[in-house]
Amino acid sequence: MDAELTATDQAHLRRALELAEGGRGRVSPNPLVGAVIVRDGSIIGEGFHAELGGLHAERGALADCRERGEDPAGATICVTLEPCAHQGRQPPCVEAILEAGIGRVVIASDDPSEKTAGKGPAILRDAGIEVAFAGGDEAAAARRLNQPFRKHARTGLPLVTLKMAMSLDGQTTTAPGDSPWISGPESRELVHRWRAESDAIAVGIGTVLADDPLLTARVDGARQPVRVVFDSQARLPLDSQLMETIDQAPVIVVTAHDAPGERRSALGHAGVEAIAATDIESALRTLGRRGITSLLLEGGQTLASAFLASDQIDESRTFVAPMLLGIDEASRRAGPVPPPGIPALDARGPLTGPPARHEALESTSEQVGADVLIRARYKEW
Protein backbone atom coordinates (compact mmCIF):
# COMPACT_ATOMS: atom_id res chain seq x y z
CA MET A 1 0.00 0.00 0.00
CA ASP A 2 1.62 3.23 -1.16
CA ALA A 3 -0.28 5.66 1.06
CA GLU A 4 -2.73 5.50 3.90
CA LEU A 5 -6.27 5.38 2.57
CA THR A 6 -9.09 7.22 4.26
CA ALA A 7 -12.34 5.61 5.38
CA THR A 8 -13.95 7.49 2.46
CA ASP A 9 -11.51 5.89 0.00
CA GLN A 10 -12.33 2.45 1.39
CA ALA A 11 -16.06 3.07 1.16
CA HIS A 12 -15.77 4.15 -2.46
CA LEU A 13 -13.63 1.14 -3.30
CA ARG A 14 -16.37 -1.06 -1.84
CA ARG A 15 -18.86 0.70 -4.08
CA ALA A 16 -16.56 0.11 -7.07
CA LEU A 17 -16.44 -3.59 -6.16
CA GLU A 18 -20.25 -3.70 -6.16
CA LEU A 19 -20.33 -2.06 -9.57
CA ALA A 20 -17.78 -4.52 -10.99
CA GLU A 21 -20.18 -7.41 -10.34
CA GLY A 22 -22.42 -5.99 -13.06
CA GLY A 23 -20.14 -7.47 -15.71
CA ARG A 24 -20.09 -11.02 -14.33
CA GLY A 25 -20.63 -13.59 -17.05
CA ARG A 26 -20.28 -11.04 -19.86
CA VAL A 27 -16.69 -9.77 -20.03
CA SER A 28 -14.42 -12.85 -19.92
CA PRO A 29 -11.55 -13.21 -20.73
CA ASN A 30 -11.33 -9.60 -19.52
CA PRO A 31 -11.46 -8.91 -15.76
CA LEU A 32 -14.38 -7.53 -13.77
CA VAL A 33 -13.68 -3.86 -13.01
CA GLY A 34 -15.62 -1.07 -11.34
CA ALA A 35 -14.71 2.61 -10.94
CA VAL A 36 -16.01 5.56 -8.94
CA ILE A 37 -15.01 9.21 -9.39
CA VAL A 38 -15.15 11.31 -6.22
CA ARG A 39 -14.89 15.01 -5.43
CA ASP A 40 -15.08 16.36 -1.87
CA GLY A 41 -16.36 12.99 -0.64
CA SER A 42 -19.25 12.83 -3.12
CA ILE A 43 -19.55 10.55 -6.13
CA ILE A 44 -19.69 12.43 -9.43
CA GLY A 45 -19.36 9.45 -11.78
CA GLU A 46 -19.60 5.66 -11.77
CA GLY A 47 -18.84 2.94 -14.28
CA PHE A 48 -18.04 -0.73 -14.76
CA HIS A 49 -16.88 -2.98 -17.57
CA ALA A 50 -20.27 -4.22 -18.76
CA GLU A 51 -19.50 -6.31 -21.85
CA LEU A 52 -16.54 -7.65 -23.80
CA GLY A 53 -15.44 -4.98 -26.25
CA GLY A 54 -17.36 -2.24 -24.42
CA LEU A 55 -16.09 0.71 -22.42
CA HIS A 56 -13.72 -0.06 -19.59
CA ALA A 57 -14.79 0.97 -16.11
CA GLU A 58 -12.67 4.13 -15.98
CA ARG A 59 -13.95 5.43 -19.32
CA GLY A 60 -17.49 4.51 -18.28
CA ALA A 61 -17.15 6.52 -15.07
CA LEU A 62 -15.75 9.51 -16.98
CA ALA A 63 -18.66 9.30 -19.44
CA ASP A 64 -21.04 9.26 -16.46
CA CYS A 65 -19.39 12.46 -15.19
CA ARG A 66 -20.08 14.16 -18.50
CA GLU A 67 -23.70 13.00 -18.46
CA ARG A 68 -24.11 14.46 -14.97
CA GLY A 69 -22.50 17.72 -16.04
CA GLU A 70 -19.56 17.20 -13.69
CA ASP A 71 -15.92 18.09 -14.41
CA PRO A 72 -13.56 15.31 -13.19
CA ALA A 73 -10.45 17.53 -13.26
CA GLY A 74 -8.63 17.25 -9.94
CA ALA A 75 -10.99 14.55 -8.66
CA THR A 76 -10.11 11.10 -7.28
CA ILE A 77 -10.91 7.92 -9.18
CA CYS A 78 -11.24 4.71 -7.15
CA VAL A 79 -10.86 1.63 -9.32
CA THR A 80 -10.82 -2.07 -8.47
CA LEU A 81 -7.95 -2.96 -10.86
CA GLU A 82 -4.96 -0.93 -11.97
CA PRO A 83 -5.77 1.08 -15.14
CA CYS A 84 -4.52 -0.43 -18.39
CA ALA A 85 -1.85 1.26 -20.49
CA HIS A 86 -2.11 -0.84 -23.67
CA GLN A 87 -4.36 -0.80 -26.72
CA GLY A 88 -6.82 -3.68 -26.80
CA ARG A 89 -10.47 -3.74 -27.84
CA GLN A 90 -10.57 -0.32 -26.15
CA PRO A 91 -7.88 2.41 -25.95
CA PRO A 92 -5.75 2.65 -22.80
CA CYS A 93 -7.59 3.88 -19.71
CA VAL A 94 -4.45 5.70 -18.55
CA GLU A 95 -4.82 8.07 -21.51
CA ALA A 96 -8.41 8.86 -20.55
CA ILE A 97 -7.41 9.54 -16.92
CA LEU A 98 -4.64 11.92 -18.04
CA GLU A 99 -6.87 13.70 -20.54
CA ALA A 100 -9.57 14.20 -17.90
CA GLY A 101 -7.11 15.80 -15.47
CA ILE A 102 -7.80 13.33 -12.65
CA GLY A 103 -5.67 14.31 -9.62
CA ARG A 104 -5.54 11.06 -7.66
CA VAL A 105 -5.99 7.36 -8.41
CA VAL A 106 -6.83 4.78 -5.74
CA ILE A 107 -6.38 1.17 -6.86
CA ALA A 108 -7.68 -1.93 -5.08
CA SER A 109 -5.55 -4.59 -6.83
CA ASP A 110 -2.74 -5.10 -9.28
CA ASP A 111 -3.09 -6.58 -12.77
CA PRO A 112 -0.69 -9.54 -13.11
CA SER A 113 -0.92 -9.81 -16.91
CA GLU A 114 2.41 -9.26 -18.65
CA LYS A 115 1.17 -6.52 -20.99
CA THR A 116 -0.24 -4.46 -18.12
CA ALA A 117 1.45 -5.17 -14.79
CA GLY A 118 2.60 -1.91 -13.22
CA LYS A 119 2.74 0.06 -16.46
CA GLY A 120 -0.37 2.17 -15.89
CA PRO A 121 0.48 3.31 -12.35
CA ALA A 122 4.05 4.14 -13.44
CA ILE A 123 2.80 6.36 -16.28
CA LEU A 124 0.37 8.11 -13.94
CA ARG A 125 3.06 8.78 -11.32
CA ASP A 126 5.44 10.09 -13.98
CA ALA A 127 2.72 12.55 -14.97
CA GLY A 128 2.52 13.83 -11.39
CA ILE A 129 -0.69 12.04 -10.40
CA GLU A 130 -0.88 10.58 -6.89
CA VAL A 131 -1.37 6.81 -7.02
CA ALA A 132 -2.32 4.77 -3.94
CA PHE A 133 -2.81 1.02 -3.70
CA ALA A 134 -5.26 -0.34 -1.15
CA GLY A 135 -4.52 -3.04 1.38
CA GLY A 136 -6.69 -5.02 3.77
CA ASP A 137 -10.22 -6.16 3.04
CA GLU A 138 -10.71 -4.10 -0.12
CA ALA A 139 -7.53 -5.42 -1.73
CA ALA A 140 -8.40 -9.01 -0.81
CA ALA A 141 -11.93 -8.63 -2.17
CA ALA A 142 -10.61 -7.16 -5.43
CA ARG A 143 -8.25 -10.11 -5.90
CA ARG A 144 -11.01 -12.62 -5.16
CA LEU A 145 -13.25 -10.88 -7.66
CA ASN A 146 -10.90 -11.78 -10.50
CA GLN A 147 -9.41 -15.14 -9.57
CA PRO A 148 -10.04 -16.64 -13.06
CA PHE A 149 -8.40 -13.67 -14.77
CA ARG A 150 -5.47 -13.67 -12.35
CA LYS A 151 -4.77 -17.39 -12.64
CA HIS A 152 -5.00 -17.30 -16.43
CA ALA A 153 -2.67 -14.29 -16.57
CA ARG A 154 -0.08 -15.98 -14.37
CA THR A 155 -0.25 -19.59 -15.57
CA GLY A 156 -2.17 -19.73 -18.85
CA LEU A 157 -4.62 -22.13 -17.17
CA PRO A 158 -8.32 -21.64 -16.36
CA LEU A 159 -9.52 -21.46 -12.77
CA VAL A 160 -11.18 -24.80 -11.96
CA THR A 161 -14.19 -24.97 -9.63
CA LEU A 162 -15.44 -28.41 -8.63
CA LYS A 163 -19.22 -28.63 -8.18
CA MET A 164 -20.61 -31.59 -6.22
CA ALA A 165 -23.85 -32.67 -4.57
CA MET A 166 -24.01 -35.35 -1.92
CA SER A 167 -26.39 -36.91 0.57
CA LEU A 168 -25.86 -36.93 4.32
CA ASP A 169 -24.37 -40.42 4.05
CA GLY A 170 -21.82 -39.23 1.48
CA GLN A 171 -23.43 -40.57 -1.71
CA THR A 172 -22.89 -38.55 -4.90
CA THR A 173 -25.07 -40.67 -7.20
CA THR A 174 -28.51 -42.16 -6.82
CA ALA A 175 -29.43 -45.79 -7.44
CA PRO A 176 -30.26 -46.89 -11.02
CA GLY A 177 -33.89 -46.07 -11.81
CA ASP A 178 -34.15 -43.47 -9.04
CA SER A 179 -34.42 -39.71 -9.60
CA PRO A 180 -31.01 -38.39 -10.72
CA TRP A 181 -31.27 -35.34 -8.48
CA ILE A 182 -29.67 -35.18 -5.06
CA SER A 183 -29.78 -31.41 -4.62
CA GLY A 184 -33.01 -29.44 -4.51
CA PRO A 185 -34.53 -27.10 -7.13
CA GLU A 186 -33.05 -23.94 -5.60
CA SER A 187 -29.57 -25.47 -5.75
CA ARG A 188 -30.04 -26.55 -9.36
CA GLU A 189 -31.17 -23.04 -10.27
CA LEU A 190 -28.01 -21.64 -8.68
CA VAL A 191 -25.88 -24.09 -10.71
CA HIS A 192 -27.40 -22.71 -13.91
CA ARG A 193 -26.30 -19.23 -12.83
CA TRP A 194 -22.79 -20.56 -12.22
CA ARG A 195 -22.77 -22.08 -15.69
CA ALA A 196 -23.76 -18.73 -17.19
CA GLU A 197 -20.84 -17.10 -15.35
CA SER A 198 -18.29 -19.73 -16.47
CA ASP A 199 -16.36 -19.91 -19.72
CA ALA A 200 -16.65 -23.70 -19.84
CA ILE A 201 -18.34 -26.70 -18.21
CA ALA A 202 -16.52 -30.03 -17.99
CA VAL A 203 -17.71 -33.61 -17.48
CA GLY A 204 -16.33 -37.06 -18.15
CA ILE A 205 -17.64 -39.39 -20.84
CA GLY A 206 -19.10 -41.63 -18.11
CA THR A 207 -21.47 -38.84 -17.10
CA VAL A 208 -22.48 -38.26 -20.72
CA LEU A 209 -23.17 -41.95 -21.36
CA ALA A 210 -25.15 -42.29 -18.13
CA ASP A 211 -27.14 -39.03 -18.13
CA ASP A 212 -27.03 -37.56 -21.67
CA PRO A 213 -26.85 -34.01 -20.24
CA LEU A 214 -27.30 -30.71 -22.08
CA LEU A 215 -24.85 -28.73 -19.90
CA THR A 216 -26.36 -25.43 -20.99
CA ALA A 217 -27.18 -22.47 -18.74
CA ARG A 218 -30.95 -22.21 -18.45
CA VAL A 219 -30.88 -18.52 -17.58
CA ASP A 220 -32.65 -15.88 -19.69
CA GLY A 221 -30.17 -14.01 -21.86
CA ALA A 222 -27.23 -16.05 -20.60
CA ARG A 223 -24.03 -16.47 -22.55
CA GLN A 224 -23.70 -20.21 -23.08
CA PRO A 225 -20.47 -21.82 -21.84
CA VAL A 226 -18.26 -24.08 -23.92
CA ARG A 227 -19.08 -27.71 -23.07
CA VAL A 228 -16.01 -29.88 -22.53
CA VAL A 229 -16.08 -33.68 -22.40
CA PHE A 230 -13.04 -35.63 -21.21
CA ASP A 231 -13.39 -38.66 -23.46
CA SER A 232 -10.12 -40.55 -23.84
CA GLN A 233 -11.34 -42.80 -26.68
CA ALA A 234 -13.66 -40.31 -28.46
CA ARG A 235 -16.82 -42.25 -27.62
CA LEU A 236 -19.19 -39.28 -27.48
CA PRO A 237 -22.40 -40.46 -29.22
CA LEU A 238 -23.28 -38.48 -32.32
CA ASP A 239 -26.95 -38.57 -31.30
CA SER A 240 -26.35 -37.21 -27.78
CA GLN A 241 -28.01 -33.99 -26.60
CA LEU A 242 -24.62 -32.29 -26.65
CA MET A 243 -24.30 -33.02 -30.36
CA GLU A 244 -27.89 -32.12 -31.18
CA THR A 245 -27.49 -28.67 -29.55
CA ILE A 246 -24.03 -27.84 -30.88
CA ASP A 247 -25.51 -24.79 -32.64
CA GLN A 248 -26.43 -23.40 -29.18
CA ALA A 249 -23.06 -23.88 -27.47
CA PRO A 250 -19.69 -25.24 -28.66
CA VAL A 251 -18.47 -28.71 -27.68
CA ILE A 252 -14.81 -29.64 -27.14
CA VAL A 253 -13.83 -33.27 -26.63
CA VAL A 254 -10.51 -33.98 -24.90
CA THR A 255 -9.11 -37.32 -26.06
CA ALA A 256 -5.99 -39.36 -25.53
CA HIS A 257 -3.40 -39.30 -28.31
CA ASP A 258 -4.26 -42.91 -29.18
CA ALA A 259 -8.02 -42.27 -29.64
CA PRO A 260 -9.31 -43.91 -32.85
CA GLY A 261 -8.83 -41.53 -35.77
CA GLU A 262 -12.17 -42.39 -37.36
CA ARG A 263 -14.04 -41.41 -34.18
CA ARG A 264 -12.16 -38.13 -33.90
CA SER A 265 -12.91 -37.42 -37.57
CA ALA A 266 -16.59 -38.19 -37.10
CA LEU A 267 -16.78 -35.76 -34.18
CA GLY A 268 -14.97 -33.12 -36.21
CA HIS A 269 -17.37 -33.49 -39.13
CA ALA A 270 -20.26 -33.02 -36.68
CA GLY A 271 -18.82 -29.69 -35.51
CA VAL A 272 -16.94 -30.82 -32.40
CA GLU A 273 -13.42 -29.62 -31.71
CA ALA A 274 -11.35 -32.62 -30.63
CA ILE A 275 -8.08 -31.93 -28.84
CA ALA A 276 -5.55 -34.57 -27.80
CA ALA A 277 -3.86 -34.28 -24.42
CA THR A 278 -1.44 -36.31 -22.37
CA ASP A 279 -2.74 -35.30 -18.95
CA ILE A 280 -5.14 -32.94 -17.18
CA GLU A 281 -2.72 -30.01 -17.06
CA SER A 282 -1.93 -30.18 -20.78
CA ALA A 283 -5.65 -30.28 -21.54
CA LEU A 284 -6.24 -27.21 -19.37
CA ARG A 285 -3.34 -25.41 -21.03
CA THR A 286 -4.91 -26.01 -24.44
CA LEU A 287 -8.24 -24.72 -23.18
CA GLY A 288 -6.48 -21.68 -21.72
CA ARG A 289 -4.96 -20.87 -25.10
CA ARG A 290 -8.51 -20.75 -26.45
CA GLY A 291 -9.34 -17.95 -24.00
CA ILE A 292 -11.08 -20.11 -21.39
CA THR A 293 -10.31 -18.57 -17.99
CA SER A 294 -12.87 -20.39 -15.82
CA LEU A 295 -14.02 -24.00 -15.87
CA LEU A 296 -16.86 -25.48 -13.81
CA LEU A 297 -16.13 -29.17 -13.24
CA GLU A 298 -19.44 -30.97 -12.85
CA GLY A 299 -18.78 -34.70 -13.04
CA GLY A 300 -18.26 -37.40 -12.38
CA GLN A 301 -16.17 -39.00 -9.64
CA THR A 302 -13.50 -40.41 -11.97
CA LEU A 303 -12.82 -37.04 -13.56
CA ALA A 304 -12.94 -35.19 -10.23
CA SER A 305 -10.41 -37.65 -8.80
CA ALA A 306 -8.15 -37.09 -11.81
CA PHE A 307 -8.25 -33.31 -11.32
CA LEU A 308 -7.53 -33.71 -7.61
CA ALA A 309 -4.61 -36.05 -8.28
CA SER A 310 -3.25 -33.47 -10.75
CA ASP A 311 -3.66 -30.67 -8.17
CA GLN A 312 -5.88 -28.73 -10.55
CA ILE A 313 -8.79 -27.84 -8.24
CA ASP A 314 -8.82 -24.19 -7.16
CA GLU A 315 -12.25 -24.00 -5.53
CA SER A 316 -15.10 -26.33 -4.65
CA ARG A 317 -18.83 -25.83 -4.17
CA THR A 318 -20.59 -28.74 -2.51
CA PHE A 319 -24.31 -29.11 -1.88
CA VAL A 320 -25.20 -31.37 1.05
CA ALA A 321 -28.81 -32.53 0.79
CA PRO A 322 -30.90 -33.61 3.79
CA MET A 323 -31.37 -37.21 2.69
CA LEU A 324 -29.93 -40.67 3.24
CA LEU A 325 -29.54 -42.79 0.11
CA GLY A 326 -28.07 -45.95 1.61
CA ILE A 327 -26.95 -47.39 -1.73
CA ASP A 328 -25.40 -50.84 -1.33
CA GLU A 329 -22.50 -52.25 -3.33
CA ALA A 330 -24.78 -54.33 -5.55
CA SER A 331 -26.66 -51.20 -6.60
CA ARG A 332 -23.38 -49.44 -7.31
CA ARG A 333 -22.24 -52.27 -9.57
CA ALA A 334 -25.55 -52.15 -11.40
CA GLY A 335 -24.93 -48.55 -12.42
CA PRO A 336 -22.82 -47.36 -15.37
CA VAL A 337 -19.06 -47.66 -14.91
CA PRO A 338 -16.94 -44.77 -16.25
CA PRO A 339 -14.24 -45.83 -18.70
CA PRO A 340 -10.65 -46.13 -17.48
CA GLY A 341 -7.77 -43.95 -18.54
CA ILE A 342 -9.16 -40.49 -17.79
CA PRO A 343 -6.53 -39.50 -15.18
CA ALA A 344 -3.65 -39.86 -17.64
CA LEU A 345 -5.73 -39.49 -20.84
CA ASP A 346 -3.31 -41.72 -22.69
CA ALA A 347 -4.76 -45.09 -21.61
CA ARG A 348 -1.82 -45.88 -19.30
CA GLY A 349 -4.22 -46.39 -16.41
CA PRO A 350 -5.00 -44.38 -13.28
CA LEU A 351 -2.38 -42.42 -11.42
CA THR A 352 -0.67 -44.13 -8.51
CA GLY A 353 0.47 -42.81 -5.16
CA PRO A 354 -1.23 -41.56 -1.98
CA PRO A 355 -4.55 -39.72 -2.24
CA ALA A 356 -4.26 -35.99 -2.78
CA ARG A 357 -5.05 -33.89 0.30
CA HIS A 358 -6.36 -30.37 -0.16
CA GLU A 359 -6.68 -28.04 2.82
CA ALA A 360 -8.96 -25.06 2.23
CA LEU A 361 -7.55 -21.57 2.67
CA GLU A 362 -11.05 -20.49 3.63
CA SER A 363 -14.56 -21.91 3.58
CA THR A 364 -18.13 -20.71 4.05
CA SER A 365 -21.53 -22.34 4.31
CA GLU A 366 -25.02 -21.14 3.53
CA GLN A 367 -28.54 -22.48 3.25
CA VAL A 368 -29.89 -22.93 -0.30
CA GLY A 369 -33.45 -24.19 -0.12
CA ALA A 370 -33.28 -27.40 1.92
CA ASP A 371 -29.59 -27.92 1.07
CA VAL A 372 -26.41 -26.59 2.65
CA LEU A 373 -23.85 -25.15 0.25
CA ILE A 374 -20.21 -25.37 1.38
CA ARG A 375 -17.76 -23.23 -0.58
CA ALA A 376 -14.02 -23.79 -0.17
CA ARG A 377 -11.05 -22.05 -1.75
CA TYR A 378 -7.73 -23.89 -1.99
CA LYS A 379 -5.49 -21.48 -3.90
CA GLU A 380 -4.97 -17.74 -4.11
CA TRP A 381 -4.03 -16.10 -7.42
Catalytic residues: 58
> Helix 57-68 vs helix 7-20: angle between axes, to the nearest 10 degrees?
110
Write the CB contacts of 260 (distance below 8 Å, at least 6 apart in sequence). Answer: 233, 234
How many of the other CB atoms lie within 10 Å of CB of 327?
Answer: 18
Write the CB contacts of 270 (distance below 8 Å, at least 6 apart in sequence). Answer: 238, 243, 246
Q: Which amino acid is at 135?
A: G
User: Could you tell me if 57 and 34 are in contact, meaning their C-beta atoms sit under 8 angstroms apart?
Assistant: yes
- Give the chain as a 3 state SS string: CCCCCCHHHHHHHHHHHHHHHHHCCCCCCCCCCEEEEEECCEEEEEEECCCCCCCCHHHHHHHHHHHHCCCCCCCEEEECCCCCCCCCCCCCHHHHHHHHCCCEEEECCCCCCCCCCCHHHHHHHHCCCEEEECCHHHHHHHHHHCHHHHHHHHHCCCEEEEEEEEECCCCCCCCCCCCCCCCCHHHHHHHHHHHHHCCEEEEEHHHHHHHCCCCCCCCCCCCCCEEEEECCCCCCCCCCHHHHCCCCCCEEEEECCCCCHHHHHHHHHCCCEEEECCCHHHHHHHHHHCCCCEEEEEECHHHHHHHHHCCCCCEEEEEEECCCCCCCHHHHHHCCCCCCCCCCCCCCCCCCCCCCCCCCCEEEEEEECCEEEEEEECCCC
